[in-house]
């Protein structure tokens, strides 16, 4: 990896740790963390694959919109937050890094680790923050690539 990409990846790792910590404690993802993930992702894609910048930007907007819509529908159905706005913003910001091709792998890693966390901590009926697991999925897919079948 070129030095600027290493630096940008380090900022990503720090931002993901920040998201995970705050969401575990407060059940909120800071807007500044989501913004930093998005902007640094834009810089990383602009540096590594400028020809993919527009497709990643469009994918990020679509991923955010679908996550927001899913959160809205779940809220209307369950009358409680199941996928919050911070999670939707993080999904969009993460998609800036991994594109539409990496999004299914990111969500799979996040879902499986979130379920494992809920089972191991016996939190099945309590709130489970999704941000830490989305952040983990982002890091896994960014550093190792999407799952190939």
Bigger pLDDT: 68 or 119?
Answer: 68
Structure confidence at residue 126 (pLDDT): 77
Average pLDDT, the chain: 94
Asked if pLDDT for residue 3 goes beyond 90, the answer is: no
Query: Domain residue spans in the chain?
Result: 3-144
Structure confidence at residue 140 (pLDDT): 98
Pick left, alpha or beta for residue 129 (phi over 0 → left; psi -120 to 50 → alpha; otherwise beta): beta
Q: Which residues contact residue 143 at a Cβ distance below 8 angstroms, ignoring those fewer than 6 apart?
A: 9
Asked if pLDDT for residue 1 goes beyond 70, the answer is: no
**26-54 pLDDT, tens per residue?**
999 999 999 999 999 999 999 999 999 99
**89-144 pLDDT, tens per residue?**
999 999 999 999 999 999 999 999 999 998 888 766 678 999 999 999 999 999 99
Q: Which residues contact residue 60 at a Cβ distance below 8 angstroms, ignoring those fewer than 6 apart?
A: 38, 41, 92, 93, 95, 96
Question: Which pTM value belongs to this model?
Answer: 0.93
Structure confidence at residue 81 (pLDDT): 82
């Amino acid at each position: 990896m070129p030095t600027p990409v290493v630096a940008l990846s380090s900022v990503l790792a720090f931002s993901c740790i920040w998201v995970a910590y705050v969401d575990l404690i407060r059940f909120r993802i800071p807007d500044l963390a989501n913004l930093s993930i998005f902007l640094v992702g834009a810089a990383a894609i602009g540096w590594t694959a400028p020809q993919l910048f527009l497709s990643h930007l469009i994918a990020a907007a679509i991923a955010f919109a679908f996550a927001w819509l899913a959160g809205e529908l779940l809220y209307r159905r369950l009358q409680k937050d199941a996928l919050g706005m911070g999670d939707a913003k993080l999904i969009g910001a993460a998609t800036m890094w991994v594109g539409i091709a990496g999004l299914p792998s990111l969500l799979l890693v996040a879902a499986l680790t979130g379920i494992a966390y809920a089972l191991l901590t016996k939190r099945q009926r309590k709130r489970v923050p999704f941000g830490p697991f989305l952040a983990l999925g982002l890091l896994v897919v960014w550093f190792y690539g999407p799952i190939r079948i």
